[in-house]
Amino acid sequence: MPDIAKRFPQNPLLSPKDVTPSTEGLHIACLLNPGVFKFDGKIWLLVRVAERPLQNEIVVSFPILNEKGGTEIMEIPLNDADLIATDARVVRYKGVDYLTTLSHLRLFCSEDGVKFKEPEGYPKLFGTGMLQTFGIEDCRVTQMDDKYYLTFTAVSASGVGVGMRTTTDWKNFESFGMILPPHNKDCAIFEEKVNGMYYALHRPSSVDLGGNYIWLAQSPDGVHWGNHQCIIKTRPDNWDSARVGAGAAPIKTDKGWLAIYHGANIEHQYCLGVFLLDINDPYKVIAHATEPIMKPLEPYELSGFFGHVVFTNGHIVEPDGDTVTIYYGAADEFVCGAKFSLNEIFKVLGI
């Protein structure tokens, strides 16, 4: 069955071969999961760049940042009985989990939303400090007035949490460290306050009771979060049975806050779905579509670093007020684009 996404014919828009590694000796394995924003009259992507050394048949090797920001390479023999390497994204060695790649965030910009290039004079964003030694990933970019809030996954041996930095010019950044501690990711701050409070979707995970569910929180200042409530859960026997997580900031519509999220089943197939929150009380879920709005169908979505994945954490609402352009990671290797009509999304939601 097709989905309701209108993919760009130019997909993939960005592939690892288009970009130069950050460090000598590393090679780019994946370009994926961009945050999206408008700045200086252009469309910008904050792309996750995942790097590692070229692999061979003897060892698995991956970079880790040290406390001073230097890169060290860890090597584990593939025939070591203490190594579990069944998922392309993570390995477990002697009971400790590591990522197979180290990610940083890199800016790309475009006049037309299709052809993206790296701008000169803007920094790459790397993990800093002991809570980002395994890198920073999947950044949501929220604009409020002239300030951009960057919420990203911060990974280290201490766990996976949500880091935040803010900027107004994309050259100078203020860091707020970890705003939501492990295990948490997929944090998107709303682009407007509601009744004087900041709101954010996020995804804590529990290894015992509970699961990989989407939660909503409130904050008086955009930094300190409270009143956490679980609003969207995985659905047994459905496409989102194993995990769900928010995409970018929900879109304000006349029917409510429209959230595009990712869900995966136990086979790690990632699709996109939608739910709608009450405009004045976002803790109220008004609608949650049963069917996904997008699923991996194209060759560049079905095979790559980690196949059968469409994952978005960034979009633009076009001036016509109906078209939403999402940028998304395909197969965890490529950056792609697709358009949706809000009216068609509302039909899927049954309203």
Instruction: List interacting residues with ligand MAN (CB under 6 A).
Output: 32-33, 89, 137-138, 270, 306, 309, 311, 329, 332
CB-nearer residue toward ligand MAN: 33 or 151: 33
Retrieve residue 169's tokens.
């010019």
Based on its alpha-carbon atoms, the radius of gyration of the chain, rounded to whole angstroms, reads 19
CB-nearer residue toward ligand MAN: 138 or 191: 138
Q: How far is the CB of 227 from ligand MAN (least distance, A)?
A: 25
Q: How far is the CB of 274 from ligand MAN (least distance, A)?
A: 18
For 301, the enclosing helix (H) or strand (E) is: helix 299-302
Q: How far is the CB of 301 from ligand MAN (least distance, A)?
A: 11
Rounded to whole angstroms, the Cα distance separating 123 from 70 reads 17
CB-nearer residue toward ligand MAN: 139 or 349: 139
Rounded to whole angstroms, the Cα distance separating 349 from 293 reads 10
Task: Please identify the residue of the shown chain whose CB is closest to the bound ligand MAN.
Answer: 311
CB-nearer residue toward ligand MAN: 72 or 87: 87
* Cβ 88 vs Cβ 333: under 8 Å: no
Whose tokens are 């409070």? That residue is 197
Retrieve residue 26's tokens.
């590393």
Distance in Å from the first CA to the final CA of the chain: 22
Which residues are paired to 173 by β-bridges?
167
CB-nearer residue toward ligand MAN: 222 or 245: 245
CB-nearer residue toward ligand MAN: 99 or 349: 99
Rounded to whole angstroms, the Cα distance separating 140 from 113 reads 18
For 24, the enclosing helix (H) or strand (E) is: none
> What 8-state DSSP symbol labels residue 15?
-
Q: How far is the CB of 335 from ligand MAN (least distance, A)?
A: 12
CB-nearer residue toward ligand MAN: 336 or 349: 336
Q: How far is the CB of 30 from ligand MAN (least distance, A)?
A: 9
Rounded to whole angstroms, the Cα distance separating 99 from 91 reads 6
Q: How far is the CB of 313 from ligand MAN (least distance, A)?
A: 9
> What 8-state DSSP symbol labels residue 17?
G
Q: How far is the CB of 185 from ligand MAN (least distance, A)?
A: 7
